[in-house]
Every structure is written in structure tokens, then in C-alpha cells.
């Protein structure tokens, strides 16, 4: 478990102190308002706990990719109204992240008030992790709190740099995420199963190589399963597959074998000659009977049932990526079915289930099990890099820092 300080390590009274809080406010917008405020809901406990202790809170966030230049359409002021609604408090918008204007804002804010600084990525030093910018921002605060796990894989001034100049703490959302991830792969209860799906093996190579040494069961789904099947000599017809990765896949299978990790590939599959909703050519086939004009678009019912039996023997599950082309019916069946099995096992207390990644969150929502997993991470890139076994700069910066 990473050794980091949390809000529990702060004094009960923070009156007059300024807390710089890194949050994720990269909200999807339509017609001037957010279509999803999950990310604001996530930071609410941290922000309200700090204001409740009397701190002046300055929110640091990026928004979009302005590339180190000011952009009138990418100011954090666009999300101010949505953030205020969720927090139930007014925010003072501050069009800078450092300097006299921020000083002035801090002077105006009272204990328990919140200021929203502008897009950190308007300043080129942010993405370059310029220590001068980090120090300039840090000068306005007494303490730093990172509550943006989704940005923790970036070594930026506001995610990593500031932690070198101020006492640094994990916010409540960050704390929950790090504890969940530690339970899933850091110090998991065995046996551990990992579901890894998605279109391409090439995008998840590092994940697969890391997992074979950490889990007892590796369940491969999506287009990746086709690449594994092809490497085993199965004719996958017109299926999406990376035939040039045969040697790589063979090596991963050998590594899994030596590590005592069972790799699960489907033995029945759902195929069609065209990728469309409920096509007339829809068939369920044994993997060795796929026609040359057919595409594998999902795992078959027998394989799905066998995977459910595997999960029943496990204590921990980590999931990233769908098993089939879940956006199009009926190729969501395997994903939905296995997700519901995992959810039921979690609810009865026999399985700890942690999932993450954009497609995965959408697939589990489609299965109606979002509330039933132990933890679902909304962080895409950071979750994937964690599954690769990489150190995340924003997390590492919280360890043993004293400012």
C-alpha cells in the first residue's frame, strides 16, 4: 500500500489556512451545461470537509487540451455553475492560477469559502511540470490535496510539482481509489481473476505482461481474444485480429504457464458476416468452425457460463474492457452476463470486484451493475497505467512529502 497522508492527518481547525485542491472538472458539456457530474460528486466529500474545517479552498483543474495557451472556450468558468450546484456553495472564479490576482482572491475569500482557479493547462509550465510554476502556485497555499486520480498518471505542475513545496495529502476520492486498487492487485486475496477485453492486444500488451505474474486467472475478451485464438492456430475468418503479434501472444501464454496463471479463451463464439444489430447471419459456433466470411463479435454462451464458474472460485476480480462488441446488440450478452455474475458474487460477499476504463464503465452501466461492484474507477489512462504496474507520478508525489 502506498504510504500517504489523508485528510485524517490534518488538524480539526483549518481556519485561515488555504488548501490547494487538485480536482478533475473535465466534464462532458452540451449546450452550456454538464451532461454528467460524476466527477464533481466524487470531490464533494473532500471539498466540504475542508471548508467545514474552516479552510479557504482553491480548486485547481484542467479542462480539455488548450496546449499551453488561453482559450475562451476552455476556461474552467464554463463548469462553475455545475460545480456550484453539486457542492451547494457559491464559487469565486479566479482567472489565474498564480500571482497577484490569486493573492487578491485569497484576501477576499473568508474561511469556508471556495475559489475556482482557471484552466491549469493555459500555462505551458503545467504540462512541462515546471518547478517555477509549481512553486508560484504553491505560494498561495498552506497545504496541498490531490483528489484527481484520473490525472495522477501525468507528471504536471498541479498534479506532481506542487507536492514538493507543500505538505501533501490524498483527498477522500483519491484515498478510496488507492485503497481499492491495493485490494485488487497490490495485496489481493487469492485466487485473483482479471478480465481484459478490448479491440487490440497491442494497446494492452504491458497490462497482459504485468498481470500474468499477478493473477491466477486471465480472461481474454474482445478483439484481443481473436488475436490469441489466431496465435493458437484457430482460423478466425474476417475477425478483427492482429496476426503479426503471434510471437508476442505465444510468449505471454508461456509466461502465464510458468507463473501458474490460467489463460481463458472462448471455445464457442458469436459470429456474423456483417457487423450490425441483430444481423440475419448471426450464429453461435465452436471456435474451430468459424467461416472464412464470418467475424467473431462476442464470446458464446457456453464459454460465458464456464467463465462464471471460474469467478465463483475466485476472491478478487479486476476488470478492464468488454468481452464483445457490447455497443451493438446482441454482442453485449457475454459482457452483461458475466458482469451480473460478478455483481451477484460481490453482493453476497465472496468476491471483491474492481473495474475501470471508459468502455468498461459504460458496459457495466449497460449491465445495470454499477452500484454492485466493490469499486468502479472512472479514470481511463491512470487506471490502465496502474494495471501495467507503473508508478503514477501524482500518487508517488503524495508519499512521504512534508512540503
Known catalytic residue at 52? no
Known catalytic residue at 381? yes
**Helix (H) / strand (E) containing 57:** strand 56-60
Q: Which three cell numbers stand for residue 283?
A: 450464429
Which of 89, 200, 238, 285 does the annotation list as catalytic? 200
Q: What is the dihedral of CA 5, 10, 14, 16, to 10 degrees?
A: -50
The verdict on whether omega for the bond into residue 119 sits within 30 degrees of 0, i.e. cis, is: no
Which of 358, 380, 389, 403 does the annotation list as catalytic? 358
Measured CA to CA, the distance from residue 143 to residue 395 in angstroms comes to: 16
First to last CA, the chain: 21
Measured CA to CA, the distance from residue 98 to residue 24 in angstroms comes to: 19
Known catalytic residue at 358? yes
Known catalytic residue at 333? no
Which of 5, 17, 39, 56 does the annotation list as catalytic? 39
Which of 64, 380, 381, 389 does the annotation list as catalytic? 381
The β-bridge partners of 94 are: 117
Measured CA to CA, the distance from residue 372 to residue 374 in angstroms comes to: 7
Q: Which of 317, 358, 359, 357 is nearest to 338 (CA)?
A: 317
Phi-psi region of 214 (alpha: psi -120 to 50; beta: other; left: phi over 0): alpha
Catalytic residue IDs: 39, 200, 358, 381
Amino acid at each position: 500500500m502506498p504510504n500517504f497522508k489523508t485528510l485524517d492527518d490534518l488538524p480539526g481547525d483549518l481556519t485561515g489556512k488555504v488548501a490547494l485542491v487538485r480536482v478533475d472538472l473535465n466534464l462532458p458539456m452540451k449546450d452550456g451545461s454538464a451532461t454528467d457530474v460524476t466527477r464533481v460528486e466524487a470531490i464533494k466529500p473532500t471539498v466540504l470537509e475542508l471548508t467545514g474545517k474552516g479552510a479557504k479552498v482553491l480548486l485547481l483543474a484542467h479542462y480539455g487540451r488548450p496546449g499551453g495557451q488561453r482559450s475562451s472556450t476552455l476556461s474552467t468558468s464554463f463548469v462553475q455553475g455545475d460545480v456550484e450546484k453539486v457542492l451547494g456553495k457559491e464559487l469565486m472564479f479566479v482567472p489565474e492560477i498564480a500571482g497577484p490576482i490569486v493573492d487578491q482572491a485569497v484576501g477576499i475569500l473568508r474561511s469556508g469559502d471556495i475559489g475556482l482557479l482557471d484552466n491549469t493547462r493555459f500555462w505551458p509550465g503545467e504540462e512541462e511540470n515546471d518547478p517555477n510554476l509549481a512553486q508560484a502556485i504553491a505560494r498561495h497555499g498552506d497545504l496541498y490535496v490531490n483528489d484527481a486520480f484520473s490525472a495522477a498518471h501525468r507528471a504536471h505542475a498541479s498534479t506532481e510539482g506542487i507536492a514538493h513545496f507543500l505538505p501533501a495529502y490524498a483527498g477522500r476520492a483519491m484515498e478510496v481509489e488507492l485503497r481499492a486498487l491495493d485490494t485488487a492487485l497490490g495485496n489481493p486475496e487469492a485466487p485473483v481473476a482479471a478480465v481484459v477485453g478490448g479491440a487490440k492486444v497491442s494497446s494492452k500488451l504491458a497490462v497482459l505482461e504485468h498481470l500474468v505474474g499477478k493473477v491466477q486467472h486471465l480472461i481474454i475478451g474482445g478483439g484481443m481474444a481473436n488475436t490469441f485464438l489466431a496465435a493458437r492456430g484457430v482460423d478466425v475468418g474476417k475477425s478483427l485480429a492482429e496476426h503479426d503479434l503471434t510471437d508476442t501472444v505465444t510468449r505471454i501464454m508461456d509466461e502465464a504457464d510458468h507463473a501458474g496463471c490460467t489463460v481463458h479463451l472462448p471455445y464457442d463464439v458469436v459470429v456474423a458476416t456483417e457487423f450490425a444489430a441483430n444481423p440475419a447471419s448471426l450464429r453461435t459456433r465452436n471456435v474451430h468452425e468459424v467461416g472464412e466470411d464470418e467475424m467473431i463479435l462476442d464470446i458464446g454462451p457456453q464459454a460465458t457460463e464456464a467463465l462464471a464458474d471460474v469467478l465463483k472460485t475466485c476472491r478478487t476480480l479486476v476488470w478492464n474492457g468488454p468481452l464483445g462488441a457490447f455497443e451493438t446488440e446482441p454482442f453485449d450478452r457475454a459482457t452483461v452476463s458475466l458482469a451480473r455474475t460478478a455483481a451477484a458474487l460481490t453482493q453476497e460477499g465472496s468476491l471483491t470486484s474492481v473495474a475501470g476504463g471508459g468502455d468498461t464503465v459504460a458496459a457495466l452501466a449497460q449491465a445495470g451493475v454499477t452500484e454492485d461492484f466493490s469499486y468502479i474507477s472512472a479514470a481511463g489512462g491512470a487506471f490502465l497505467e496502474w494495471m501495467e504496474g507503473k508508478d503514477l507520478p501524482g500518487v508517488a508525489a503524495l508519499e512521504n512529502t512534508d512540503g
